[in-house]
């Protein structure tokens, strides 16, 4: 049995790797994509183009403007002299924000009242706008605290913020481990989901069925190359994440690989299921897409699962990526120990088992 599986595995590897172009497609893109996406995927904004419209000549207003232009988050690209200039600048997306300080600002401040400041933000990308407004309120809070201190007021209570696991709140630390999961999923699904459909379309699957190989053995022979490629690729990607992007790896590497094993098991299960359902490669490709796209978007990769409506959160329970992201982020950033992650391992095992069983069943039954 082992010998037969081994032979089929070799055949699968040959089918995948003997063609130079196919070899390149499996190996190169994930590595390149990790590098590109690792740099692209960040929620931290820097050098946001802003325009300043300052109608007040006082030092208090100058100080406020300096706090904006001095921050690396903002970059002043225009100085306005009239209200009418604001519209076209924002419309054409040349600036994302306009800081408008009214002529009464200094006078109101020294009179002990609140100084009026207007901030106009382009809301076409509401996420960027929300992050931007967060920066604005931080600057405003600092400015207020300093002003109160200088004018001799009592501070009352003050807020001291500390972030565990990611002290500088770098979103890259959060997103790069996510990309590792993303690319691993992509590669294994690609490798497995078209493999049976291709044999069906070329007619070689019938030949495979009349060999002494049993459906279980065919299943294993088709699954193992995905496992091996997944492990190798993942190792390379994890090395890039830690050595190149300097994401801290605080937990046990062994825990990570146990998680990876179950993750590969479940995603290969889905891939083979899709493949056994598909009669043509186009259907296989469609199935792979229909699995990949929602799994990525609803995994908590970029937008937290907790923000989804309740029924949608329930739906994500069948998504293997969801569990793997908890594992990989936990191991990387929080050093989460093995026993706290058991609740993430077994759902993936169940998903994989169900899918592989269905796939094995379909291998025998679908012969057209």
Work out whether 44 is an interface residue with other proteins (CB under 8 A). Answer: yes
Tokens 């690319």 belong to which residue?
A: 183
Nearer to other proteins (CB atom), residue 41 or residue 258: 41
Residue pair 361/343 in contact by the 8 Å Cβ criterion: no
The three-class DSSP label of residue 98 is strand
Residue 214 beta carbon to other proteins: minimum distance, rounded to whole angstroms: 26
Please report whether residue 141 would count as binding other proteins according to CB under 8 A. Answer: yes
Strands 97-101, 74-79: parallel, antiparallel or unpaired by DSSP? Answer: unpaired
Q: What DSSP string describes 3-31?
A: HHHHHHHHHHHHHHHSSHHHHHHHHHHHH
CB of 33 to other proteins, least distance (A): 6
136 binds other proteins (CB under 8 A): yes
Q: What residues does 78 pair with on adjacent strands? A: 51
Q: Is 347 in the site for other proteins (CB under 8 A)?
A: no
Minimum distance between the CB of residue 318 and other proteins, rounded to whole angstroms? 13
Residue (of 96, 106, 13, 29) closest to 64 by Cα position: 106
Query: Using the rule CB under 8 A, is 309 a contact of other proteins?
Result: yes
Least CB distance from residue 95 to other proteins, whole Å?
Answer: 11
Choose among 101, 141, 121, 119: nearest CA to 45: 121
Q: Residue 228: CB partners within 8 Å, gap ≥ 6?
A: none
Site string for other proteins, 19-38 (x = CB under 8 A): x-xx--xx--x---x--xx-
CB 212 to other proteins: min, Å? 27
Greatest Cα pair distance, the chain, in angstroms, is 93
Binding residue for other proteins, selected from 5, 9, 50, 90, defined by CB under 8 A: 90
**Contacting other proteins (CB under 8 A), which of 76, 85, 104, 171?**
171
The reply to whether 43 sits near other proteins by the rule CB under 8 A is: yes
Nearer to other proteins, 1 or 340 (CB): 340
Query: If binding is defined by CB under 8 A, does position 91 make contact with other proteins?
Result: yes
- C-alpha 176/C-alpha 112 separation (Å) is 48
**Closer CB to other proteins, residue 167 or residue 212?**
167
- Least Å distance, CB 269 to other proteins, is 19
* Nearest distance from C-beta of residue 127 to other proteins, angstroms: 5
Q: How far apart are CA 78 and CA 47, in angstroms?
A: 13
- Please tell me whether residue 334 binds other proteins under the rule CB under 8 A: yes
Instruction: Provide the mask over 185-214, with x wherever binding to other proteins is found by CB under 8 A and - wherever it is not.
Output: -x---x---x---x--x-------------
Between CA 358 and CA 269 the distance in angstroms is 9
123 binds other proteins (CB under 8 A): yes
Q: Under the criterion CB under 8 A, does residue 167 sit at the interface with other proteins?
A: yes
Residue 332 CA: distances (Å) to CA of 16, 55, 175, 268: 32, 49, 11, 24
């Amino acid at each position: 049995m082992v010998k037969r599986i081994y032979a089929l595995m070799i055949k699968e590897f040959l089918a995948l790797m003997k063609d130079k172009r196919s070899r390149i497609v499996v190996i190169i893109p994930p590595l390149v994509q990790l590098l590109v996406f690792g740099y692209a995927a960040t929620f931290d904004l820097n050098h946001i183009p802003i325009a300043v419209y300052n109608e007040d000549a006082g030092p208090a207003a100058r100080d406020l403007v300096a706090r904006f232009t001095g921050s690396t988050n903002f970059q002043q690209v225009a100085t306005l002299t009239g209200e009418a200039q604001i519209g076209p600048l924002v419309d054409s997306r040349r600036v994302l924000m306009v800081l408008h300080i009214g002529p009464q600002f200094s006078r109101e401040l020294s009179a002990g009242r609140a100084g009026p400041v207007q901030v106009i933000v382009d809301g076409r990308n509401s996420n960027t706008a929300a992050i931007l407004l967060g920066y604005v309120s931080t600057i405003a809070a600092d400015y207020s605290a300093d002003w109160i201190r200088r004018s001799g007021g009592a501070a009352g209570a003050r807020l001291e913020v500390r972030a565990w696991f990611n002290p500088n709140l770098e979103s890259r630390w959060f997103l790069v481990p996510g990309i590792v999961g993303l690319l691993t999923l992509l590669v294994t699904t690609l490798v497995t989901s078209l493999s049976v459909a291709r044999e069906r379309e070329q007619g070689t699957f019938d030949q495979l069925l009349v060999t002494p190989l049993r459906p279980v053995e065919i299943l294993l022979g088709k699954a193992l190359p995905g496992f091996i490629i997944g492990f190798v690729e993942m190792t390379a990607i994890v090395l890039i994440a830690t050595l190149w992007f300097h994401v801290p790896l605080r937990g046990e590497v062994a825990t990570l690989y146990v998680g990876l094993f179950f993750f590969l098991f479940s995603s290969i299960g889905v891939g083979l299921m899709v493949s056994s359902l598909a009669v043509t490669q186009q259907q296989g490709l469609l199935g792979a897409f229909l699995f990949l796209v929602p799994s990525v978007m609803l995994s908590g990769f970029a937008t937290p699962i907790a923000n989804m409506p309740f029924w949608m959160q329930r739906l994500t329970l069948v998504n293997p990526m969801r569990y793997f992201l908890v594992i990989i982020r936990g191991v990387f950033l929080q050093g989460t120990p093995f026993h706290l992650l058991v609740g993430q391992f077994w759902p993936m095992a169940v998903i994989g088992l169900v899918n592989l069983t269905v796939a094995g069943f379909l291998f025998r039954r679908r012969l057209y």
